[in-house]
Amino acid sequence: MTLDDCIETVKDIANLLESSKSQSALALSTAERLRNVAGFLTEQKRITAPIPKALGDLSDLPGELLRELSIPKTDELDDQILTVMRACGGEAGLDQVLVGLYRKYKVVQTRRFIQNKMYRMSKKELIHQVPGQRAAYSLEPQPATSIQPNGYDDSYDQRPGSSHRDELDDEIPF
């Protein structure tokens, strides 16, 4: 049985006591006390919930607490871009962000402006570039890959113990 199950059980018992035909003072006072217990358990659950590593939405925090946090400062457009990216599953290209900004917030910006804004956001590590894709960003860091979008591996595969210069020293066959 989980804490949520216990809270629901207490609420159900309180409802049962209130809806009973007797409606005695004892039943009503017991129901009220059970509702207080449910409220207390709900508050304890909220207090003891672990704080996630990502702080998430901070809009409910007071200004004096926000000033004490060592988090990158974001403006309204940063928040809107992050919201659009979350709606796209955590990864979005520039075109998706431009369309999402318009559809959600009726914000119309130039492609270059949003591209520069997302680049600055990546430097603040609010978003991360997707390796191998142009103008694509992710909310989570992506592993680097040497496979290009064309399907070719651009890394140079060398034999162990040899260098690129060794291959250049071979005789020319003509």
Residue 93 binned pLDDT confidence (cut-offs 50, 70, 90): very high
- Global pTM? 0.48
- Domain range for 120: 76-138
> Residue 146 pLDDT > 70, yes or no?
no
Domain for residue 147, yes or no?
no
Residue 33 binned pLDDT confidence (cut-offs 50, 70, 90): very high
The angle at the Cα of 73, spanning 71 to 75, to the nearest 5 degrees, equals 145
Domain for residue 173, yes or no?
no
CATH of residue 90's domain is 1.10.10
What percentage of the chain exceeds 70 in pLDDT?
A: 74
> Residue 127 pLDDT > 70, yes or no?
yes
Domain total in the chain: 2
Domain for residue 13, yes or no?
yes
Domain for residue 125, yes or no?
yes
> Residue 36 pLDDT > 70, yes or no?
yes
Q: What is the pLDDT of residues 53-90, one digit of tens each?
A: 566 667 678 888 878 887 777 788 888 898 899 888 88
Within this chain, do residues 81 and 134 fall inside the same structural domain, yes or no? yes
